[in-house]
Structure 1
């Protein structure tokens, strides 16, 4: 019953992962890039998102608060997920 909704979403999700974005990042113009500003590929972004999911799950949701606290307290505004995966989030406005 839900498969007609799931397949297009999964296809979109995989497409935007290849660009260094999740669907939410795509909507807000945010990209995950490496610290040297080179683009993340599909595999690297897949690892980043799955690490975040695993981290948040294993900490029973407290990983979300740890990520938020790191963003608020660090000068470079990088979350725990960013620190572990070597990523930086950048905003690229659309013209």
Structure 2
């Protein structure tokens, strides 16, 4: 585990994902349903994007790629659907059950911990790094 990405870079990547993926989905949803309240299909697509794209794209999302960071496994293995499920779904449930307190704690963890890991990273065995994927990871994906 090396070269972890900090709070501001991770926040910017998430905001970019929201602008590039979330905003167009919301607009399309409004055009289809006539409702700004949020279509469940839009939420499902956002979750699927967060689960699938990092697995297929070596830990990157569009926002993370722009910011030069990616999700990686602490043990060096290729990021998989299990880790992404733990990170997105189980981590999201923890944040929901704690009424957002877990999210605030995670922000402080990323800002203050040397390894920059949030609660969802600890749950999933992941971290966010500036390092590009190794050739071993790329070969394992082929």
| TM-score between both structures, scaled by the size of structure 2 | 0.50
Who wins on radius of gyration, i.e. which is larger?
2
Question: 1-side partners of 2:82 and 2:98: how far apart?
Answer: 24
Matched positions, count: 89
Higher fraction of strand: 1
Question: Aligned to 2:53, which of 5, 11, 16?
Answer: 16
* Structure with higher helix content: 2
- Residue 69 of structure 1, aligned match among 103, 108, 117: 108
4+ long deviations beyond 4 Å: none
- The answer to whether the 8 A contact 1:21-1:45 is kept is no
Q: CA deviation at 1:89?
A: 0.8
Structure 2 residue ranges without an equivalent (≥5): 1-31, 34-38, 133-142
Give me the whole-angstrom Cα distance separating, in 1, the residues matched to 2:100 and 2:76. Answer: 30
**Which runs of 5 or more structure 1 residues have no equivalent in the other structure?**
none
Q: Match of 1:54?
A: 93
Partner SS, residue 123 of structure 2: helix
